[in-house]
Homo-oligomer: A and B are copies of this chain.
Amino acid sequence: MTLAIPDFTAIQEAHRRIRPLIHRTPVERCRTLDQLCDAEVYFKCENLQKVGAFKYRGATNAVQCLDEVTAARGVATHSSGNHAQALALAARTRGIPAYVVMPKNAPQVKVDAVAGYGATIIPCEPTLQAREETLAEVVADTGAYFVHPYDNPQVMAGQGTAAVELLEDAGALDVVITPVGGGGLLSGTAITVSALAPETRVLAAEPLGADDAARSLAAGELIPSVDPDTICDGLLTSLSPRTFTVIQRSVTAIITVSDDAVKRAMQLVMERMKLVVEPSAVVGLAALLEKRDQVPGRRIGVIFSGGNVDLGNLPWMGDQ
Protein backbone atom coordinates (compact mmCIF):
# COMPACT_ATOMS: atom_id res chain seq x y z
CA MET A 1 0.00 0.00 0.00
CA THR A 2 1.33 3.43 -0.87
CA LEU A 3 0.89 6.17 1.69
CA ALA A 4 -0.69 9.40 0.44
CA ILE A 5 1.90 12.11 0.92
CA PRO A 6 1.27 15.73 -0.10
CA ASP A 7 3.48 17.34 -2.72
CA PHE A 8 4.29 21.04 -2.86
CA THR A 9 1.28 21.71 -5.08
CA ALA A 10 -0.91 20.44 -2.25
CA ILE A 11 0.81 22.90 0.09
CA GLN A 12 0.25 25.79 -2.32
CA GLU A 13 -3.41 24.81 -2.60
CA ALA A 14 -3.64 24.56 1.18
CA HIS A 15 -2.16 28.04 1.48
CA ARG A 16 -4.69 29.53 -0.92
CA ARG A 17 -7.47 27.77 0.98
CA ILE A 18 -6.49 28.75 4.53
CA ARG A 19 -4.88 32.15 3.97
CA PRO A 20 -8.08 34.13 4.65
CA LEU A 21 -8.67 32.13 7.85
CA ILE A 22 -5.24 32.18 9.51
CA HIS A 23 -2.93 34.89 10.78
CA ARG A 24 0.05 35.76 8.63
CA THR A 25 2.45 35.52 11.56
CA PRO A 26 5.49 37.79 11.66
CA VAL A 27 9.11 36.78 11.15
CA GLU A 28 11.07 38.42 13.96
CA ARG A 29 14.75 39.11 14.57
CA CYS A 30 16.63 39.69 17.84
CA ARG A 31 20.09 41.22 17.97
CA THR A 32 20.99 39.60 21.30
CA LEU A 33 20.03 36.15 20.05
CA ASP A 34 21.93 36.73 16.80
CA GLN A 35 25.01 37.44 18.90
CA LEU A 36 24.51 34.47 21.19
CA CYS A 37 23.96 32.16 18.20
CA ASP A 38 26.64 33.75 16.02
CA ALA A 39 24.13 33.76 13.17
CA GLU A 40 21.35 35.73 11.52
CA VAL A 41 18.25 34.08 12.90
CA TYR A 42 14.76 34.54 11.45
CA PHE A 43 12.05 33.44 13.85
CA LYS A 44 8.69 32.48 12.33
CA CYS A 45 6.30 33.25 15.18
CA GLU A 46 3.59 30.61 15.07
CA ASN A 47 3.06 31.24 18.78
CA LEU A 48 1.15 34.25 17.43
CA GLN A 49 -1.02 32.03 15.18
CA LYS A 50 -4.69 31.57 16.08
CA VAL A 51 -5.09 29.22 19.08
CA GLY A 52 -1.41 29.99 19.76
CA ALA A 53 0.11 27.30 17.55
CA PHE A 54 0.88 26.28 13.93
CA LYS A 55 -1.59 23.41 14.47
CA TYR A 56 -4.34 25.75 13.33
CA ARG A 57 -2.97 25.66 9.79
CA GLY A 58 -3.26 21.90 9.38
CA ALA A 59 -6.57 21.60 11.19
CA THR A 60 -8.07 24.40 9.10
CA ASN A 61 -6.88 22.84 5.86
CA ALA A 62 -8.28 19.44 6.82
CA VAL A 63 -11.64 20.90 7.84
CA GLN A 64 -11.92 23.10 4.77
CA CYS A 65 -11.12 20.16 2.45
CA LEU A 66 -14.14 18.13 3.57
CA ASP A 67 -17.10 17.89 1.19
CA GLU A 68 -20.39 19.31 2.47
CA VAL A 69 -21.93 15.96 3.40
CA THR A 70 -18.92 14.76 5.34
CA ALA A 71 -18.37 18.14 6.96
CA ALA A 72 -21.96 18.29 8.19
CA ARG A 73 -21.34 15.21 10.38
CA GLY A 74 -18.47 17.01 12.08
CA VAL A 75 -14.87 16.19 12.91
CA ALA A 76 -13.29 14.29 15.79
CA THR A 77 -9.90 13.74 17.36
CA HIS A 78 -8.24 12.66 20.57
CA SER A 79 -5.76 15.12 21.97
CA SER A 80 -5.11 17.16 25.06
CA GLY A 81 -2.76 19.50 23.24
CA ASN A 82 -2.79 22.28 20.70
CA HIS A 83 -4.38 20.13 17.97
CA ALA A 84 -7.56 19.81 20.04
CA GLN A 85 -7.96 23.59 20.27
CA ALA A 86 -7.00 24.00 16.62
CA LEU A 87 -9.56 21.48 15.41
CA ALA A 88 -12.25 22.92 17.66
CA LEU A 89 -11.79 26.44 16.28
CA ALA A 90 -11.40 25.22 12.69
CA ALA A 91 -14.70 23.35 13.01
CA ARG A 92 -16.47 26.30 14.60
CA THR A 93 -15.19 28.53 11.81
CA ARG A 94 -16.78 26.21 9.25
CA GLY A 95 -19.90 25.89 11.41
CA ILE A 96 -19.67 22.15 11.97
CA PRO A 97 -19.46 20.05 15.16
CA ALA A 98 -16.16 18.97 16.71
CA TYR A 99 -15.81 16.03 19.12
CA VAL A 100 -12.65 15.88 21.18
CA VAL A 101 -11.74 12.86 23.27
CA MET A 102 -9.65 14.01 26.23
CA PRO A 103 -8.18 12.00 29.11
CA LYS A 104 -9.93 12.59 32.44
CA ASN A 105 -6.68 13.88 33.96
CA ALA A 106 -6.16 16.58 31.33
CA PRO A 107 -5.56 19.99 32.96
CA GLN A 108 -8.83 21.86 33.42
CA VAL A 109 -7.39 24.89 31.62
CA LYS A 110 -6.94 22.80 28.46
CA VAL A 111 -10.42 21.29 28.73
CA ASP A 112 -11.85 24.80 29.17
CA ALA A 113 -9.94 26.09 26.15
CA VAL A 114 -11.31 23.37 23.87
CA ALA A 115 -14.82 23.76 25.28
CA GLY A 116 -14.45 27.51 24.83
CA TYR A 117 -14.11 26.96 21.07
CA GLY A 118 -17.43 25.13 21.13
CA ALA A 119 -16.28 21.52 20.87
CA THR A 120 -18.04 18.61 22.56
CA ILE A 121 -15.63 16.98 24.99
CA ILE A 122 -15.74 13.24 25.61
CA PRO A 123 -13.71 12.28 28.69
CA CYS A 124 -11.90 8.93 28.75
CA GLU A 125 -9.46 7.00 30.90
CA PRO A 126 -5.89 8.32 30.55
CA THR A 127 -4.47 5.52 28.39
CA LEU A 128 -3.76 5.51 24.69
CA GLN A 129 -5.97 2.46 24.32
CA ALA A 130 -8.91 4.16 26.02
CA ARG A 131 -8.42 7.24 23.88
CA GLU A 132 -8.45 5.27 20.66
CA GLU A 133 -11.41 3.13 21.67
CA THR A 134 -13.42 6.12 22.80
CA LEU A 135 -12.61 7.94 19.59
CA ALA A 136 -13.74 4.90 17.55
CA GLU A 137 -17.05 4.92 19.43
CA VAL A 138 -17.53 8.63 18.83
CA VAL A 139 -16.82 8.22 15.13
CA ALA A 140 -19.21 5.25 14.93
CA ASP A 141 -21.97 7.14 16.77
CA THR A 142 -21.69 10.47 14.97
CA GLY A 143 -20.17 9.73 11.60
CA ALA A 144 -17.62 12.45 12.36
CA TYR A 145 -14.43 12.55 10.29
CA PHE A 146 -11.27 11.76 12.29
CA VAL A 147 -8.58 14.42 11.85
CA HIS A 148 -5.31 12.96 13.09
CA PRO A 149 -2.94 15.55 14.60
CA TYR A 150 -0.22 14.79 12.04
CA ASP A 151 -0.73 11.51 10.17
CA ASN A 152 -3.01 13.08 7.59
CA PRO A 153 -2.00 14.53 4.19
CA GLN A 154 -4.21 17.63 4.52
CA VAL A 155 -2.81 18.34 7.97
CA MET A 156 0.77 17.92 6.74
CA ALA A 157 0.04 20.21 3.77
CA GLY A 158 -1.39 22.86 6.07
CA GLN A 159 1.65 22.73 8.35
CA GLY A 160 3.91 23.21 5.30
CA THR A 161 2.44 26.67 4.69
CA ALA A 162 4.36 28.25 7.58
CA ALA A 163 7.64 27.63 5.76
CA VAL A 164 6.25 29.22 2.59
CA GLU A 165 5.73 32.46 4.50
CA LEU A 166 9.06 32.16 6.29
CA LEU A 167 10.95 31.89 3.00
CA GLU A 168 8.93 34.76 1.50
CA ASP A 169 9.72 37.05 4.41
CA ALA A 170 13.28 36.04 5.29
CA GLY A 171 14.70 35.53 1.80
CA ALA A 172 17.40 32.95 1.12
CA LEU A 173 18.28 30.83 4.14
CA ASP A 174 21.06 28.30 4.71
CA VAL A 175 18.99 26.25 7.13
CA VAL A 176 15.45 25.93 8.43
CA ILE A 177 14.99 24.26 11.84
CA THR A 178 11.67 23.03 13.24
CA PRO A 179 10.72 21.05 16.32
CA VAL A 180 9.77 17.41 15.73
CA GLY A 181 7.14 15.47 17.66
CA GLY A 182 4.84 13.49 15.36
CA GLY A 183 6.51 15.08 12.35
CA GLY A 184 3.64 17.03 10.82
CA LEU A 185 5.39 20.40 10.93
CA LEU A 186 8.75 18.94 10.01
CA SER A 187 7.49 16.96 7.02
CA GLY A 188 5.39 19.84 5.73
CA THR A 189 8.36 22.17 6.11
CA ALA A 190 10.65 19.71 4.32
CA ILE A 191 8.30 19.45 1.33
CA THR A 192 8.07 23.25 1.06
CA VAL A 193 11.77 23.91 1.43
CA SER A 194 12.77 21.15 -0.99
CA ALA A 195 10.52 22.73 -3.62
CA LEU A 196 11.18 26.43 -3.04
CA ALA A 197 14.79 26.42 -1.87
CA PRO A 198 16.48 23.10 -2.67
CA GLU A 199 19.84 24.46 -1.46
CA THR A 200 18.42 25.18 2.00
CA ARG A 201 18.89 22.37 4.50
CA VAL A 202 16.05 21.28 6.74
CA LEU A 203 17.03 20.28 10.26
CA ALA A 204 14.91 19.36 13.24
CA ALA A 205 15.45 19.65 16.95
CA GLU A 206 14.13 17.33 19.60
CA PRO A 207 14.44 17.04 23.38
CA LEU A 208 16.90 14.40 24.60
CA GLY A 209 14.12 12.92 26.75
CA ALA A 210 11.98 12.20 23.65
CA ASP A 211 14.61 11.51 21.01
CA ASP A 212 12.71 8.88 19.04
CA ALA A 213 12.85 10.86 15.80
CA ALA A 214 16.63 11.28 16.00
CA ARG A 215 17.03 7.58 16.73
CA SER A 216 14.62 6.68 13.93
CA LEU A 217 16.54 8.78 11.40
CA ALA A 218 19.84 7.27 12.54
CA ALA A 219 18.51 3.70 12.47
CA GLY A 220 16.71 4.06 9.16
CA GLU A 221 13.53 2.69 10.70
CA LEU A 222 10.69 4.14 12.72
CA ILE A 223 11.40 3.70 16.44
CA PRO A 224 8.35 4.63 18.53
CA SER A 225 8.51 7.01 21.47
CA VAL A 226 8.44 5.08 24.75
CA ASP A 227 8.09 6.77 28.14
CA PRO A 228 9.27 10.20 26.98
CA ASP A 229 10.50 12.50 29.76
CA THR A 230 10.88 16.18 28.90
CA ILE A 231 9.34 19.58 29.62
CA CYS A 232 8.45 19.76 25.89
CA ASP A 233 4.92 18.44 26.27
CA GLY A 234 4.11 18.98 22.59
CA LEU A 235 6.86 16.64 21.39
CA LEU A 236 6.03 13.37 23.14
CA THR A 237 4.43 11.51 20.24
CA SER A 238 5.97 9.10 17.73
CA LEU A 239 6.47 9.71 14.03
CA SER A 240 4.05 8.00 11.66
CA PRO A 241 5.21 6.02 8.61
CA ARG A 242 3.85 8.87 6.49
CA THR A 243 5.79 11.67 8.20
CA PHE A 244 8.88 9.45 8.59
CA THR A 245 8.97 8.79 4.84
CA VAL A 246 9.25 12.52 4.13
CA ILE A 247 11.73 13.06 6.94
CA GLN A 248 14.04 10.30 5.68
CA ARG A 249 13.90 11.79 2.19
CA SER A 250 14.54 15.45 3.01
CA VAL A 251 15.77 16.11 6.54
CA THR A 252 19.54 16.41 6.98
CA ALA A 253 19.80 15.91 10.72
CA ILE A 254 17.84 15.90 13.96
CA ILE A 255 19.67 17.61 16.81
CA THR A 256 18.86 16.61 20.38
CA VAL A 257 18.84 19.21 23.14
CA SER A 258 18.71 19.09 26.92
CA ASP A 259 15.73 20.39 28.87
CA ASP A 260 18.14 22.88 30.45
CA ALA A 261 18.95 24.29 27.03
CA VAL A 262 15.21 24.49 26.27
CA LYS A 263 14.61 26.32 29.53
CA ARG A 264 17.38 28.80 28.80
CA ALA A 265 16.13 29.39 25.26
CA MET A 266 12.60 29.96 26.50
CA GLN A 267 13.79 32.44 29.10
CA LEU A 268 15.86 34.33 26.52
CA VAL A 269 12.91 34.59 24.13
CA MET A 270 10.58 35.86 26.82
CA GLU A 271 13.13 38.29 28.27
CA ARG A 272 14.68 39.57 25.08
CA MET A 273 11.98 39.20 22.42
CA LYS A 274 9.08 39.73 24.88
CA LEU A 275 7.29 36.80 23.28
CA VAL A 276 5.55 34.03 25.17
CA VAL A 277 6.65 30.64 23.83
CA GLU A 278 6.08 27.10 25.05
CA PRO A 279 9.00 24.75 25.73
CA SER A 280 8.37 22.68 22.58
CA ALA A 281 8.55 25.84 20.50
CA VAL A 282 12.16 26.69 21.29
CA VAL A 283 14.00 23.41 20.72
CA GLY A 284 15.34 24.84 17.43
CA LEU A 285 16.79 27.87 19.19
CA ALA A 286 18.08 25.60 21.96
CA ALA A 287 19.92 23.58 19.29
CA LEU A 288 21.54 26.78 18.00
CA LEU A 289 22.54 27.82 21.51
CA GLU A 290 23.77 24.41 22.63
CA LYS A 291 25.08 22.80 19.44
CA ARG A 292 25.87 25.58 16.99
CA ASP A 293 28.61 23.41 15.40
CA GLN A 294 25.94 21.00 14.19
CA VAL A 295 24.13 23.74 12.24
CA PRO A 296 25.83 24.81 9.00
CA GLY A 297 25.60 28.31 7.55
CA ARG A 298 24.75 31.74 8.90
CA ARG A 299 21.22 32.61 7.75
CA ILE A 300 18.94 30.41 9.79
CA GLY A 301 15.15 30.15 9.92
CA VAL A 302 13.64 28.85 13.15
CA ILE A 303 9.96 28.06 13.57
CA PHE A 304 8.51 28.90 16.99
CA SER A 305 5.72 26.34 16.98
CA GLY A 306 3.49 27.65 19.77
CA GLY A 307 2.97 29.73 22.86
CA ASN A 308 0.55 27.79 25.04
CA VAL A 309 2.26 27.53 28.38
CA ASP A 310 1.09 27.59 31.99
CA LEU A 311 2.19 31.05 33.10
CA GLY A 312 1.73 30.08 36.72
CA ASN A 313 4.25 27.29 36.35
CA LEU A 314 7.09 28.35 34.08
CA PRO A 315 9.91 25.79 33.96
CA TRP A 316 12.46 27.95 35.81
CA MET A 317 10.21 28.55 38.78
CA GLY A 318 11.62 26.99 41.89
CA ASP A 319 15.17 27.38 40.53
CA GLN A 320 17.62 29.43 42.56
Contacts and interface: CB of A to CB of B under 8 A. Distances in A.
A172 to B, nearest CB: 24
Contact of A274 (B271, B276, B314): B276
Given A26-B26, A317-B317, A311 B274 contact: no
Contacts of A275: 274-276
Interface residues of A, number: 18
A48 B30 CA distance: 10
A52 B273 CA distance: 8
B307 A317 contact: no
Give this chain's copy count: 2
Contacts of A307: 274
A43 to B, nearest CB: 13
Contact of A314 (B47, B52, B311, B319): B311
A20 interface: no
A276 to B, nearest CB: 4
- Among A274, A307, A319: residue with most chain B CB under 10 A: A274
Tell me the dominant secondary structure on chain A's binding face.
Answer: loop
Contacts of A238: none
A311 B47 contact: no
A267 interface: yes
Contacts of A316: 311-312
A271 B47 CA distance: 11
A311 B26 contact: no
Given A267-B311, A317-B317, A274 B26 contact: no
Interface string A23-48: 00010000000000000000000011
B48 A311 contact: no
A272 to B, nearest CB: 8
Interface string A257-287: 0000000000100110011110000000000
Contacts of A267: 311
Contacts of A311: 267, 270-271, 314, 316
11 contacts: A47-B274, A52-B274, A270-B311, A274-B275, A275-B275, A275-B276, A276-B276, A312-B316, A312-B317, A312-B319, A314-B314
Given A267-B311, A270-B276, 9 more contacts: A47-B274, A52-B274, A270-B311, A274-B277, A275-B276, A311-B316, A312-B317, A312-B319, A314-B314
